[in-house]
Amino acid sequence: MELKQLIQEVKPEGSEDEAVISQWVHAYHGGFKYFGQSRKVTRVKIKKALIGEGILKADGKISPKSKKKYGIKPRKAPKFKFIDLFAGIGGMRLGFQEHGGVCVFSSEFEKNAQETYFENHGDFPFGDITKINPTAIPDHDVLLAGFPCQPFSHAGLKLGIADTRGTLFHDIATILETKKPKVALLENVKGLLSHDKGFTLQTILQRMVQLGYQCNIDKTLIINGSPRQLQEAAKHMVLRSIDFGVPQNRQRIFIVLWRDKKIHHFKYPEPLGIQTRVGDILEDNPQQKYTISDKLWSGHRKRKDQNRINGKGFGFGIVNAESKYTNTISARYYKDGSEILVDQGGLNPRKITPLEAARLQGFPDDFIWNKSNVHVYKQFGNSVTVNVVKAVAEEIYKQIL
């Protein structure tokens, strides 16, 4: 059976052929299960199809061209397997690979992020998670998901049942129910605590309990407590980038969940105690094009003055090399750079460069970013801070896996 024909047997709607091929190549190299592997789509058939397409040589070795394309490196026995959902550009992946994990499946809906992910990891993410059959996903130890925050239906609330259908969290829950990994790490904005007056957080935690998972919040409190009580209890799950050596005032909630009933508590990573400094992530000679125009600079100052008059207190944020940290970089940074401007003495301030944006999220300097600065800022603004994920991954590996 030809490769294209075989792909059509398993490819979900909304995903590209390349997603299946790249997963199969990595699965072949790593010795783990192929996406969609079944009695009909067997390991033998997949191997023959890959050989027929020239991805594998006749002797079964991956061709040099394919090694380069798919980022194949010398094989190491993985310490654990994970899947990367709502993967973005792979910040979560980088953090867990650091501690010996291997990614066996990834999913990301946004096309430009898919391209950046593939460019850096050699793995083209599958698309629409709502179209993916959980049974086709390879077995894994850890599920990673930085999912969008969506409101849930209050239907059946009096019976203690919240309806998550129609939300992306429902698809995460379905995968957990089907594959039952040892650990799930759910990442979100700090605003998840207050979203829908705490009902969203309550629904997520109650659903996890139903699926056999636990976290640092007592099960009785999750089931019988009020949203307000859960909000208070979940505050310790919020981690700050500046506590892990990155000069950015970014706060995110990391909900660590596990199935092992012998484990009763997860110790979150402690702050490193490193004094951060914005100058450590700045380039020495940034290009002139990042300096904002007179018109934009004037607009920023006028808005800040008006906001002050209106009692809002919002406006641009300006830093210099000696500042301890920046504001949080967001996906809208490309619009006007207002949250993080770098002081240039007598000149107009400038936006941070793509390299500085990468460093501000803990990505390595050799990370390949998108050719469009618009997408660069969107992607880094939407990403996680790699340093924080590394710290969480280390504790998960030591304490649970």
What residues are labeled active site?
Answer: 149
Task: Tell me which residue has tokens 């654990």.
Answer: 80
Could you write out the DSSP letters of every residue in 37-50? --SSS-HHHHHHHH
Supply 24's token pair.
């199969």
How far, in Å, CA of 355 to CA of 376, rounded? 10
- Give, in order, the Cα–Cα distances in Å from 228 to each of 117, 194, 223, 238, 383: 38, 9, 13, 16, 28
End-to-end CA distance of the chain: 39
The structure tokens listed for 5 are 């024909």
3-state class (DSSP) for residue 167: coil
| Pair 6, 45: CB distance under 8 Å | yes
Write the DSSP symbol of residue 349. E
Nearest CA among 271, 258, 216, 238 for reference residue 391: 271
